[in-house]
Amino acid sequence: MTTRRTTQYSAFFLSCLFFATGLLSNSHAADYGIRIGNSISQSLSLDSLKKGSGVPWVDGSEPGPESAYDWVRLHRQCDSIVKPKYAIIVTRYHFITWKAYRITNNRTRVNYYKDKIYKVIGTDTALKTEYEATIKGERNVFDFDEQNPLKSGPWNFKDIVAASFLPLIIRDAKAAGTKLIILKNKSYLYTVEPQLETPEMKQYNKDLADYLNANGVIYLDYVQSNIFTKADYGGEWDDHLGPTGAVKWSNLIKIDMQAISEGKKAPLQMGTPSTRILKYGSVMTSPRNNILTITNGRMMRVSHDQNLWNLSGRKTELK
């Protein structure tokens, strides 16, 4: 009896071992995606990402920090046993390569962002060492002047990319077999004050696109889309999208993710001029009955009381 039980326990142990080994060797032990970014990214519906890609999505966003947080968050996810199939990092302007932007502190709370980043790093001493080595000697920057973007941080992509967190982001996604998507949202400047986009900013975007394409990274440049208006933002010079802007953005990502999941080039993938933006047309709202009407004939009933466009994406309803 003892021998039989020992054999059963040994078989059970071996099956567990083989199962664990399979997980460890499988880059896609579970098909899911992760949305990474700061509070800007939280307007991007997780439900729309799921409907477009066919897999569930989790939220890896954190209000405040920028590219340093994006890297450590992606690293921890890609270093786990259950690795993501997709990872979207939402960024703005040149923040994905501006490594000193919001890396250690807030203007009033000395370790505010540093604590958020260290919370993700946890007990991973190797990651902590690499993070500290990367930011060594950098002076943290919190402010960004949207009306004078060239005065804020370095814009010469080729001079700064090697020392930024972007190569580390790409490295970790490749090692995990995760399809990496860099998404640049359309900020208030590009929508309302497009004349402020300088030749230097355009050159940066071209160089970024070339670099990502060369490294097998999908670059969704939503600056190309012309469906956003001033009314879609949270306020003047506020890059956070309001309710109508969040719905538009989430509809766009659903279509783009569907193309990506089918192995096709997404309509707003950099290098592909968008021809589908006219599909959405203008947006009209009726405050009295809370109906959002899109001119292609689709109608969506929305209610702020029901919180249908909850910024976490958990309750967003996009039929």
Highest mean pLDDT among 66-80, 191-205, 268-282: 66-80
Model pLDDT, residue 270: 72
Among the residue ranges 36-50, 63-77, 141-155, 210-224, the one predicted with the least confidence is: 141-155
pLDDT band at 28 (very low <50, low <70, confident <90, very high): very low
Q: Can you give the chain as a three-state secondary structure string? A: CHHHHHHHHHHHHHHHHHHHHHHHHCCCCCCCEEEECCHHHHHCCHHHHHHHHCCCEEECCCCCCCHHHHHHHHHHHHCCCCCCCEEEEEECCCHHHCCCECCCCCCCCCCHHHHHHHHHHCCCHHHHHHHHHHHCCCCCECCCCCCCHHHCCCCCHHHHHHHCCHHHHHHHHHHHCCEEEEEECCCHHHHHCHHHCCHHHHHHHHHHHHHHHHCCCEEEEHHHCCCCCHHHECCCCCCCECHHHHHHHHHHHHHHHHHHHCCCCCCCECCCCCCCHHHCCCEEEECCCCEEEECCCCEEECCCCCCCCCCCCCCCCCC
**Mean pLDDT within 172-182:** 97
Model pLDDT, residue 158: 95
Model pLDDT, residue 238: 81
Model pLDDT, residue 286: 29
Model pLDDT, residue 108: 57
Q: pTM to 2 decimals?
A: 0.76
pLDDT band at 162 (very low <50, low <70, confident <90, very high): very high
